[in-house]
Amino acid sequence: MHAFPKSVRLRRNQEIRCTLDQGLKVVGPLMVVFLKPRVAALPEDLVGGGSRLGVVASRKVGNAVVRNRVKRQLREAYRHLRPELLTLAALKDGDVVVVARAAAATASSASMAEALQHGLRRLKRQIDCR
């Protein structure tokens, strides 16, 4: 089933803002990837439930149709990468926010998936170096 359940999404603006402000950042030509390790503030928070994703696409990317297509492509790429992320301790329980850049509007799904995977690998190296 091709599902992207609520448990793996960043749904509140506050969560996305916190990740953008306090997270590690990797800049690429198609996207900027942010990662912030998650700690449980409340008992109902899902620490140990795996990483969560938030996608941001501004009007610089294109009109609503283009922005939504880019966000769908990024979510699908992340969905395929998620099982691999769950095996990596550095990325397992973190919040990931992907900010699409204007070049993402004309990129193929395969190149976006490759760029996302490359960005996450670079973030893992940053965490490992700390």
**pLDDT of 56-98, one tens digit each?**
999 999 999 999 999 999 999 999 988 888 787 777 788 999 9
pTM over 0.85: yes
Confirm if 23 and 55 have CB atoms less than 8 A apart. no
Residue 63: its pLDDT value, please? 97
Tokens (6 digits) for 69: 């297509």
- Angle between helix axes 64-87 and 109-129 (nearest 10 degrees) is 50
Q: For residue 4, which of 101, 73, 105, 92 has the smallest C-alpha distance?
A: 73
Task: State the fold for domain 6-129.
Answer: Ribosomal Protein S5; domain 2 (3.30.230)
Residue with tokens 């990129």: 107
Q: Give the whole-angstrom CA distance, residue 130 versus residue 75.
A: 28
Strand partners, 100: 31, 57
CA distances to 26, 32, 53, 101, 112 from 62, rounded to whole Å, are: 22, 17, 21, 10, 16
Q: What is the pLDDT of residues 109-129, one digit of tens each?
A: 999 999 999 999 999 888 888
Strands 24-27 and 94-100: unpaired
> Quick one: pLDDT at residue 117?
93
Supply the mean pLDDT for the chain.
87
Q: Which comes out higher in pLDDT, residue 63 or 42?
A: 63
Residue 42 has pLDDT above 50, yes or no: no
C-alpha 9/C-alpha 53 separation (Å) is 5
